[in-house]
Structure 1
Amino acid sequence: MDSPNTLILDHFFPTDVLKITEVIETEKIVIHMKSVSRFCICPKCHQTLEHSHGTYIRKVQDLPILGKNVQLRIKAHEYLCKNAACPVITVAETFNGFLNANRRMTQRCEDFICMLAMETSCEGCARICQAMNLHISGDSVIRFLTERYEAQPVPVCGETIGIDDFAFKKRNRYGTVIVDETTHKPVAILNGRDSNTLKAWLQQNKQVKRITRDRAGAYASAIGEILPDAMQIADRFHLHQNLLEAIQNALKSAVPADIKIPIDQIPADFQSPEENQTAKEESKKK
């Protein structure tokens, strides 16, 4: 019977497909495991494979335990796909989302790294992981984030969108962000802020009927050419900006920039700032 003070490692792994056979602790923790599954799903034809082709050892990194690096040595199966129309011949088994194909880290380990990178930076994340005895480089962190970004489904926008430009690097490189007005989430980030960039995106999204934009002529011409029936709406910020500019121009034309005060209207006891400073210095000397 297990002691209530004993940490049972089996509880942290999918016991329906993996079984721990040995744990070796030195400067790191090596956990030997073997697969107990009896079938696998082909990733191409999605058929259930039950004919085992052989076994091999997968060396995988997991989350650290009490500051020690954890390495898994998993004896996994390879299965034969007998579907003649399938391009895959052998399939390495995965373990219910715990470990995916061709990965050197467990899924939970990758999740932690990606979350940390989003809150810090890729290089900062790599340095923190190294301090935790989780071995990874900044380039690998970038690869994880890129793979997850590319695996996301293409966002679909509704009939109303907002368009505005932004700077990747001020005075150097600009882009265009497109936001769905219903969800208030970005649906596309375009490289550039000219009309050709926006035209290519509008060609693929002709369901758009209402567009909120700034007063840029490039956006107006692109929308008018691709979606001539779409309603173009000036956003609130630029309406306020245009109103402020009109008020400033009106004040400049009505109120002179310099207001001269006649000498005869200056009080007799008026002192200039220079005279005030001179009087203070003389009083200090006394």
Structure 2
Amino acid sequence: MESSNTLFLDHYFPSDVLKITEVIETDDKIIIHMKSISHTCVCPRCHQRLEHYHGTYIRKVQDLPILGKNVQLRIKAHEYICDNEGCPVRTVAETFNGFLNANRRMTQRCEDFICMLAIETSCEGCARICQAMNLYISGDSVIRFLTERYEAQPPPVCGETIGIDDFAFKKRSRYGTVIVDEATHKPVAVLNSRDSNTLKAWLRQNKQVRRITRDRASAYASAIEEILPDAMQIADRFHLHQNLLEAVQNALKSVVPADIKIPIDQGCSDNQQPSEKIPKDGVKKKK
């Protein structure tokens, strides 16, 4: 009779395509031998379903640690022959979408954990934490994971109203431009500079924009006027307040003199200066 307290590894792997054949445990590592039990594969080029085996090969990948021990998977996977004569691919390596994708050295859930940890900390900090958990990865690999996921995202779509402002990659050295969608309040583009040519290239790809909130930069104004002449340009609230403050300051400068002379109190005696302090006890000490 099986105990209810026993941990079954089969429950944590896709049992419809993989089967555990052997588990080897050492002091710091758990090696799980598995084999593929699938009979078909889909070609990544022509998307045709393949059924003819070409051979087998061993894939060595990492999975999430178990009780602080590094987990290594040894998967005996299949290669299939693509029968489509018009397809440039002859053989296709089997993938396990959702669990292990093509040309990966880690399972999908392991990569998800690493990317989430890197976003909350940093790439190098994430690598150090993973090393402490016996999950072997470098900071460069973490950066590659994040870059691949960023490039795989669909391009963001903005509405008819956007906001444009500049920011500093490095203060007094290099600046960029951020574009935010008014409906979602989320950035839809980050441009590498704040000149008009970079903004013009982005506006040509987004002709649906009708209203633009911007600062007082002349480069932004000229780019919008040239590419989207019918778009409404709106000064944002910060620069409206800044314009009002400058107008008030100029008005005060024209009326109030720059230097104001404060007359000395004539009621003070000749021996006591206005700035001289009187002790709390009322007795002035001799110098």
TM-score normalized with structure 1 length: 0.93
Question: In angstroms, what is the RMSD of aligned CA positions?
Answer: 2.2
Aligned with 1:192: secondary structure?
Answer: coil
* Residue 162 of structure 2 corresponds to residue 157 of structure 1: no
* Cα shift at 1:284: 9.3
What does the per-residue CA deviation read over 1:49-68, in whole Å, with 9 as the maximum and x for residues that have no partner?
11111111000000000110
The CA distance in 2 between the partners of 1:237 and 1:28, in whole Å, is 58
Instruction: Indicate the structure with greater helix content.
Output: 1
1:278–1:91 CA distance, 2 compared to 1 (3 A): farther
Q: Quick one: which amino acid aligns to residue 11 of structure 1?
A: H
* Cα shift at 1:194: 0.8
Residue matched to 1:110: 111
How many residue pairs align between the two structures? 283
The CA distance in 1 between the partners of 2:215 and 2:29, in whole Å, is 58
Q: Quick one: which amino acid aligns to residue 7 of structure 1?
A: L
**Off by >4 Å, runs of 4+ in structure 1:** 264-270, 277-280, 282-286
* Cα shift at 1:95: 1.3
The CA distance in 1 between the partners of 2:257 and 2:267, in whole Å, is 20
The CA distance in 2 between the partners of 1:162 and 1:182, in whole Å, is 10
Gaps of 5+ in 2: none
1:262–1:22 CA distance, 2 compared to 1 (3 A): same
Aligned with 1:69: secondary structure?
Answer: strand
Gaps of 5+ in 1: none
Residue matched to 1:66: 67
The CA distance in 1 between the partners of 2:74 and 2:188, in whole Å, is 42
The CA distance in 2 between the partners of 1:285 and 1:3, in whole Å, is 96
The CA distance in 2 between the partners of 1:206 and 1:43, in whole Å, is 35
The CA distance in 1 between the partners of 2:285 and 2:77, in whole Å, is 91
The CA distance in 1 between the partners of 2:44 and 2:158, in whole Å, is 30
What does the per-residue CA deviation read over 1:157-190, in whole Å, with 9 as the maximum and x for residues that have no partner?
1111111001111111100011111111111100
The CA distance in 2 between the partners of 1:217 and 1:140, in whole Å, is 42
The CA distance in 2 between the partners of 1:270 and 1:283, in whole Å, is 13
Aligned with 1:73: secondary structure?
Answer: strand
1:265–1:100 CA distance, 2 compared to 1 (3 A): farther
Aligned with 2:140: secondary structure?
Answer: helix
Aligned with 1:276: secondary structure?
Answer: coil
1:253–1:54 CA distance, 2 compared to 1 (3 A): same
Aligned with 2:277: secondary structure?
Answer: helix
Instruction: Give the fraction of aligned pairs with identical amino acids, expressed as a percent.
Output: 84
Residue matched to 1:56: 57
CA contact (8 A) 2:265 2:274 kept: no
Aligned with 1:174: secondary structure?
Answer: strand
